[in-house]
Amino acid sequence: MTETTAIILAAGKSKRMNTKMAKVLHEVCGRPMLSYVLDSCRQAGVKKMFVVVGFSSEQVQEKFADADDIVWITQEKQLGTGHAVLCCKEHLKDFEGQTLVLCGDGPLIRTETLAKIIKEHEEGHAAATLATAVIDDPKGYGRIVRDDSGNIKGIVEHSDCTKEQLEIQEINPSYYLFNNTLLFDMLDNIKPDNAKGEYYLTDVISGILATDHKVLAIKAVLPEEALSVNSRAQLSEISKIMQKRIQKQLMENGVTIVDPDNTWIDVRAKIGQDTIIEPFTYIKGQVAIGQNCRIGPFAYLKDGTFLKDDIVLEFSREDVTQSDRKADINVS
């Protein structure tokens, strides 16, 4: 297997968020959205990640100061996705493997999708592979343009689309895998010839196609996976999707959640088999609940709460902290 590294784009400010904090630090179900992207890369076998930061870069680096697999790259001016990747050139110019390029504001990314991109890329001996999604409302996304045989011809940004191209529902959610050497060769030649005057990473795809190298575009991204965060409303929407994922996994592991719509569980929580979560329960932070417990209704468990097996908790209880930290906990 070819060595794979990753470049994660996390420099954006997002004016629509109206925030003083770096966008990628906003939390989704208890964790910064960037954490989900980093973990998906790790679980897909990536050993080193180059994270491109800009706005509030110190905040981001401080939050992930304990991670020894991250190289921080500063993009002084936000001149587009192509420019952001080019900022990594000095670190990757001699790397002969393959490079994932992903966005740090897409926390719904799944390891399975990254694994599929890597597998298809290697088996197809491609120079570049991108994963696409088909969605009902493609507004704002770059469109995938294919020829009559279904091969990719290029990617057209929404602001540059013709009337006909705007009708295309297959979109580019920015999941890329490149031959690293070819990636940086192409980046040196792209121009900001577009409506925004930016250096588009998508122009690298056009450049690779023009040189007759093989480019694959696989429909591997779920519609919800394509969502990224550019506003508080989108942050809320994505958090709801993530909450459904968290609860679904817990239920598959043997936890009963009586009313999922009226329950909130932090992604870091651990809950044992045959425990029942009653309605209007809020579990925040690193909480551990044993087996055969009954929690709620109207219970609030704060960060640091540890409950052993067979506990019944029917109300908000803040005294369950140090006293139960020493208890034996058996959670799945």
pLDDT in tens, 115-164: 999 999 999 999 999 999 999 999 989 999 999 999 999 999 898 899 99
Reported confidence tier of residue 323, pLDDT bands at 50, 70, 90? very low
**In degrees to the nearest 10, what's the CA dihedral of 28, 30, 33, 37?**
-120
The answer to whether residue 56 scores a pLDDT higher than 50 is yes
Per residue in 304-314, pLDDT (tens digit) is 999 999 999 98
Tokens 């954490």 correspond to 35
Q: What percent of the chain has pLDDT over 70?
A: 95
Kindly report, as residue ranges, where domains of CATH 2.160.10.10 are found in the chain: 253-325
Confidence of residue 5 (pLDDT cuts 50, 70, 90): very high
* pLDDT score of 68 more than 70: yes
Is the pLDDT assigned to residue 198 strictly greater than 90? no
**pLDDT at 326 > cutoff 50:** no
Rounded mean pLDDT of 31-47?
97
Phi, psi (degrees; rounded to nearest 5) at 41: -65, -45
Q: Which residue has the higher pLDDT, 239 or 56?
A: 239
CA-based end-to-end distance of the chain: 32
What residue type is assigned to position 124 of the chain? Answer: G
| CATH 2.160.10.10 assigned to 253-325 | yes
Average the pLDDT over 183-198 and give the result: 86
Q: Return phi, psi of residue 206, to 5°.
A: -60, -40
The Cα–Cα gap between 330 and 114 comes to: 32
Q: State yes or no: pLDDT of 324 exceeds 70.
A: no
Of 206, 208, 202, 203, the C-alpha closest to 182 is 208
Token pair 């504001």 is found at 105
**Residue 327's pLDDT band (cuts 50, 70, 90):** very low
What is the predicted pLDDT for the residue at 292? Answer: 98
Task: Supply the pLDDT for residue 318.
Answer: 54
Q: Where in the chain is the domain with CATH 3.90.550.10?
A: 4-226
Q: What is the mean pLDDT of residues 271-287?
A: 97
Q: Comparing 246 with 76, which gets the higher pLDDT?
A: 246
Q: For residue 230, is pLDDT > 60?
A: yes
Q: At 185, is the pLDDT very low, low, confident or very high (cuts 50, 70, 90)?
A: very high
**pLDDT given at position 316:** 53
- Model pLDDT for residues 246-272, shown as the tens digit of each residue: 999 999 999 999 999 999 999 999 999
Contacts of 223 (CB under 8 A, 6+ apart): 133, 134, 135, 136
Quickly state the pLDDT bin for 320 (edges 50, 70, 90): low
The better pLDDT of the pair 106, 195 is held by: 106
Taking residues 295-306, report their average pLDDT.
95
Q: What is 4-226's CATH topology?
A: Spore Coat Polysaccharide Biosynthesis Protein SpsA; Chain A (3.90.550)
Q: pLDDT confidence of 315, banded at 50, 70, 90?
A: confident
| pLDDT for 319 beyond 80 | no
